[in-house]
Structure formats: C-alpha cells, structure tokens
C-alpha cells in the first residue's frame, strides 16, 4: 500500500494526503500552485502543510469513512487493517462530495459501469449480504466512501436500470437498506413530511427486490452534466469536517459542536446567511416535532458552489427514532435540554440566544411549523404522496406510531408556542 494518496477534484489534483510516521495519523498539503478553492472551511488554502500531529487533516479525511458495524464489515471484506488511511486508500475513489483519493499512478482508471442484477439487489434488500460489491478477487472493485452506519451503496440509475459506477464515473443515487422494512418506510415518511412543511430534502422513493425494500435517494452532491449527460460531482463537507471535529464527537452531548457554532459558521461562509440559519433552525424544530433524535453534526452538510461559497445542503437521513430503540436524547440540545418531550419555553429562548436569534422569532417559527405539521402528519395528502413514492396501501398502517408521535408532539408544543 502506498503511504501517499493524491487528492483529486474533477480533473485537477488539488493536494496530497500522507500517512504519518506513527502509522496512523494523516497529514495533508495543497498542491503548488494552490488550487482555486479550499476543500474545507477547516483546511483553508495555505502554502504550509497540515501536519499529521496537528490532527486537522486527519479529522477531515477520516470523516469520509463509514462508521460502526459498516466499517467493521468493510475491514473484514477488504482484508485491510482497521486504520483510516488504509480504508481511504482502498475505497476513497468515490467519496461524498467532489474529491477522489487515488494512489499515485491510478489517476487514469477508466470509467465504467457494472449492471446490478435483480437477484443481487434482492440479496442486499433482504439483508442476506452486506457490501457484496467488495467481493475478494473481483478484478475491478467499485470504489466508494460513504459515511454513516447504515448499509448504503452508490449507484448510477439510467433509464430505470441500476449500475455500480467504476473508475471516474460518478453515481447518481444512494441505495439504502435496512434489516426491517419499517425503517425504510419510516425514512420515506419523514422525507415526504419534511418536504410538505417546506424543508429542502433530496428526492427519494421505495424500490423492491425479492422480498425486501430499499430506498433510492437522489444524491444532492451530484448534478447532471451538460456535455455528455454524465453526473458531475459537487463538493460538500459535513459539519464535523467544516468545524474540524473528529467523527467521534458528532453528538453535542458527547463533546461535539452545538447549533450556536453551526449558525456562526453559516453566517461566516454562506450566501444569504439569514436564510441559511433559518433553514438550520427549521431542521432542528422539525427533528423535535417529528421525532428525529439522531440529528447530529454529521447529518448536517454544506455544499460549495463554483465561486467557493457554501450553503446548507438539503436535509438527509431523517428518521423518526423516537419510535425505535435508539437514544431519545437529541443530537443537538435546545437551550441545553436534550429531551424532546420536555422542552420548555425557556429552552427555546436559550436556543435563540445560542444561535444569536431573537427569542420571539424562534417561538414564532416553532408555532408556524407546529401549525403546518400537525394537520399533515396523519393526512390523506401525505399518504397519497407516499403511495406515489412507492409505498403500498397496506404499509400505511406500519407508520401509525410515527404518525401518532408527530401529532402528539405538535399538540405538546402548540400551547408553548
């Protein structure tokens, strides 16, 4: 394994990542002359390298990698050591955002696509295989690095056919799997409910293979190319990367950033920052009302435009975790309170202070979202939207606990707001 990786953005090499002398830490330096745009708010353009001992480069690049059980399965499948650099060297060819991490000499790997057979898709959807695209001995392995703990595979969907992109070819969708079909329905419900109340979200729909379900999510960090019709990579970074925070600190309660720090960054680096901060506030209110207690710093991302300015990405990974066996504590506190069913007026006023917003404004936005969300949460209109996105009529009943929770939360905070 090479101890250096070239960092590419499109057809331009923008820097180099290397493994430090301790065999674990990573350092990074921009090319000379420097590229036009920095890859991160936490790694600004600089002539000097970001040394491995400082940890800034390591934090950013390690945040590209899968977590928890997904990471362990990849290590086992790939037969590599469980170290960040080794995993990036193996699977960094198609990361979230616009970057590709390639060993020296691998830059001209040709683009290609492997059709996904329906029986293979069924094995993934039914939970019979995890990360099967990393089968040992395959001549040309798919290259990807998708953060998070859930099973997901990047694919290219063209004319209703699904392919695994190879080499330089970019994917268009993420295919997400879950051992329980109810989780797929849950995420689709939350996506459609968020869209109905005005929160930007990626397009998604349910697919079926064998006896299993999967969720096909359009990648917001990809766009249709103008020349050849292929996909173009758009650069992004999650909030942990933007703030220079290691992935283990994605939850505020465990030492990670708060919404005040996120809002301050949005004011510093985005266009129309007032609108960006308002979107961030709406995301947190939606999480409280709809039951997503897993809204943490890696579930917030920034997209970079061609001029280098950033904007808050659409909301993703929205799941009503309050009806599942997950921690009920919020990923971000509301005025220091992590309990979504016990928030008081002073907690929302505390959140306003943290985000440098006027308390009456925050309370008014809470009231507006309560007013919009409550009648939609269990409505025929929302059900119809889900049916158009691949849900079947009998599956609506599987969402009754999710629907009931959202309605109860709205009623709980109606009198507060």
Q: Which residues are catalytic?
A: 294
Read off φ and ψ for residue 321, nearest 5 degrees. -75, -15
Beta bridge partners of 270: 310
What is the Cα Rg of the chain in Å? 21
User: What DSSP element (H or E) covers 181?
Assistant: helix 181-196
Question: Buried b vs exposed e over 331-346: b needs ≥16 C-beta within 10 Å?
Answer: bbbbbebbebeebeee
How far apart (Å, rounded) are the C-alpha atoms in residues 331 and 339?
10
- The count of other CB atoms within 10 Å of the CB of residue 280 is 21
Residues 231 and 111: their CA atoms lie apart, in Å, by 12
The gap between the terminal CA atoms of the chain, to the nearest Å, is 58
Sign for the pseudo-dihedral over CA of 289, 293, 297, 300: negative
3-state secondary structure of 205: strand
CA distances from 90 to 1, 175, 230, 275 (A): 9, 21, 24, 39
CB proximity list for 331: less than 8 A, separation 6 or greater: 250, 251, 252, 287, 293, 294, 295, 296, 297, 299
CB 154 within 8 A of CB 219: yes
* Distance of alpha carbon 37 from alpha carbon 31, whole angstroms: 11
Distance CA 39, CA 31 (A): 12
Burial class of 33 by CB neighbour count within 10 A (0 to 12, 13 to 18, 19+):
exposed
Q: Which of 132, 69, 93 is nearest to 6 (CA)?
A: 93
């Amino acid at each position: 394994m090479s101890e250096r990786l070239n960092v590419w953005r499109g057809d331009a090499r923008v820097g180099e990542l290397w493994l430090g002398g301790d065999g674990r830490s990573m350092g990074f330096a921009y090319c000379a002359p420097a590229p036009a745009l920095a890859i991160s708010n936490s790694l600004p353009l600089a002539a000097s390298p970001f040394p491995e001992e400082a940890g800034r480069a390591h934090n950013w690049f390690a945040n590209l990698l899968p977590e928890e059980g997904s990471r362990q399965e990849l290590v086992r499948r790939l037969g590599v050591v469980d170290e960040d650099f080794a995993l990036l060297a193996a699977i960094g060819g198609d990361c979230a955002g616009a970057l590709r991490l390639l060993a020296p000499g691998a830059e001209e790997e040709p683009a290609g696509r492997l059709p996904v057979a329906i029986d293979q898709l069924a094995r993934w959807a039914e939970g019979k295989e995890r990360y099967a695209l990393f089968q040992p001995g395959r001549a040309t392995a798919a290259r990807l690095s998708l953060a998070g703990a859930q099973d997901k595979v990047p694919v290219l969907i063209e004319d209703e056919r699904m392919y695994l992109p190879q080499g330089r070819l970019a994917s268009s969708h993420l295919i997400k799997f879950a051992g329980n079909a109810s989780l797929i329905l849950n995420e689709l419900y939350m996506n459609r409910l968020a869209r109905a109340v005005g929160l930007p979200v990626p397009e998604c729909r349910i697919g079926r293979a064998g006896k299993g379900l999967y969720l096909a999510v359009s990648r917001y960090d990809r766009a249709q190319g103008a020349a050849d019709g292929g996909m173009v990579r758009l650069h992004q970074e999650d909030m942990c990367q933007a703030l220079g925070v290691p992935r283990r600190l994605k939850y505020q309660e465990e030492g990670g950033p708060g919404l005040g720090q996120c809002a301050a960054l949005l004011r510093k680096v985005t266009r129309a920052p007032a609108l960006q901060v308002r979107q961030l506030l709406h995301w947190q209110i939606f999480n409280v009302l709809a039951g997503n207690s897993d809204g943490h710093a890696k579930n917030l991302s920034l997209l970079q435009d061609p001029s280098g300015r950033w904007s808050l990405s659409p909301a993703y990974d929205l799941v009503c975790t309050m009806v599942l066996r997950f921690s009920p504590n919020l990923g971000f506190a509301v005025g220091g309170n992590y309990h979504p069913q016990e928030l008081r007026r002073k907690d929302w006023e505390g959140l306003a202070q943290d985000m440098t917003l006027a308390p009456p404004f925050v309370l008014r936005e809470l009231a507006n979202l309560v007013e919009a969300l409550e009648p939609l949460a269990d409505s025929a209109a929302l059900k119809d939207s889900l049916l158009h996105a691949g849900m079947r009529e009998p599956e609506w009943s599987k969402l009754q606990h999710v629907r009931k929770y959202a309605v109860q939360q709205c009623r709980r905070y109606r009198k507060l707001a």
